Amino acid sequence: MSDLASVRFVDPWVLALLAVVLIGIALSFLRGRRPSGGLLFPSLGLLPAGAGGWRVRLRWTLVALRVAAIVLFIVALARPQIVRASVESVSEGIDIALAIDVSGSMSEAGFGGTTKIDAVKHVVHDFLGGLKNDRVGIVIFSGEAIVLGPPTLDYAASQKLVEPLDTGSLAGGTAIGTGLATAVNVLRDSAAKSKVAILLTDGENNSGDISPLDASNMAKLLGVRVYTIGAISAPVQRGGDEPESGTVDEQLMRKMAGDTGGQYYSVSDANSLAEVYREIETLEKSHVGTRDFVDYEEAHLFFLAAGALLLFIEISLAATVFRRSP
């Protein structure tokens, strides 16, 4: 958060009166150069010799004090205000739930020279390491779904949870709807301005009690934006059998994301996957935007008090130290 301070005038047109003060100073100067009245003396010899005393030499300070007081009064009439503005960082206010498919097909090779699950672990590890002020929770799913870690700012702990991930740890199948519903439930109590579920899978929904569209409708109702990622690898040969590869229902994935204001991405290697995670984070920061807080503090009383003080000093000096006779 950055703080800015400046000064503004509510009625700046009043400052035009300063021109009147300048005119008054000029007229006073011209009048001072004209011959003034005096007293008749039969001889100058009756007057003390030498220049005027210090009271005479410093009498101009009375005019300066009065002018300064008038200027301060005019500034006070213009109602100066101290403006304090705070701009909140856009990096705050994002809660993210990562839903990661750990079904058997995620162990397939051909995903940029590595298996899908290994690529996902590496990318998520780096993604977590680059975050700041964004809470992240992790959900894994195949035929069922579990919460691996609730939303937290402890990225190191989340990275340790991701490191040992492997396929076959949960029941078989691909329950996309259950995985998304679990991720959305993780964000249910979030008070963040932006709530995001990022679901990655390499297959079609073939198990679970919750359909993907029902899960996306749940996300929409709770204000969670869903981004879906399809991990599509090149077909690989398995011991003379026909090439095998997980298939992604891209039409369904697009609808799940689109219904909640998110997007669908198709990736085929670790580099493209890393770019997607970074792009999603950037998009969410733009959704959050900046929040500005402006506070106005009246400052005219200071100028009014300072002007009154100078005027009092000027009147006091004119009546005592610089008093004129007659």
Beta-ladder partners of 77: none
Looking at per-residue pLDDT, the higher value among 37 and 281 belongs to: 281
Give the pLDDT confidence score for residue 139 in this predicted structure. 96
Give the pLDDT confidence score for residue 103 in this predicted structure. 92
222-231, 270-279, 317-326: least confident range: 317-326
Give the pLDDT confidence score for residue 147 in this predicted structure. 95
Determine the average pLDDT of the residues in 251-257. Answer: 95
Q: Which residue reads 């579920």 in tokens?
A: 197
Pick among 3.40.50.150, 3.40.50.410, 3.30.1490.20, 3.90.76.10: CATH of 94-289: 3.40.50.410
Determine the average pLDDT of the residues in 240-262. Answer: 77
pLDDT in tens, 56-82: 677 778 888 888 989 999 998 988 888
Q: State the Cα–Cα distance between residues 189 and 153, nearest whole angstrom.
A: 16
Sorting pLDDT into bands at 50, 70 and 90, what band is 8?
confident
- pLDDT winner (highest mean) among 4-13, 73-82, 172-181, 308-317: 172-181
32-37, Cβ contacts within 8 angstroms, sequence gap of 24 or more:
none
- Whether 218 and 118 have beta carbons less than 8 Å apart is answered as no
126 pLDDT above the threshold of 90: yes
First to last CA, the chain: 65
- Domain map (residue ranges) of the chain: 1-30+54-89+291-326, 94-289
Q: Write down the mean pLDDT value for the chain.
A: 82
Structure tokens at 231: 């991990």
Q: How far is CA 193 from CA 187, 189, 223, 266, in A?
A: 12, 12, 9, 27
Give the pLDDT confidence score for residue 55 in this predicted structure. 67
Q: How far is CA 207 from CA 18, 175, 190, in A?
A: 81, 5, 28
- Whether 277 and 196 have beta carbons less than 8 Å apart is answered as no
Burial class (CB within 10 angstroms; exposed 0-12, middle 13-18, buried 19+) of 97: buried
State the CB neighbour count (10 A cutoff) for residue 94: 22
Q: Is the peptide bond before 326 cis (omega within 30 degrees of 0)?
A: yes
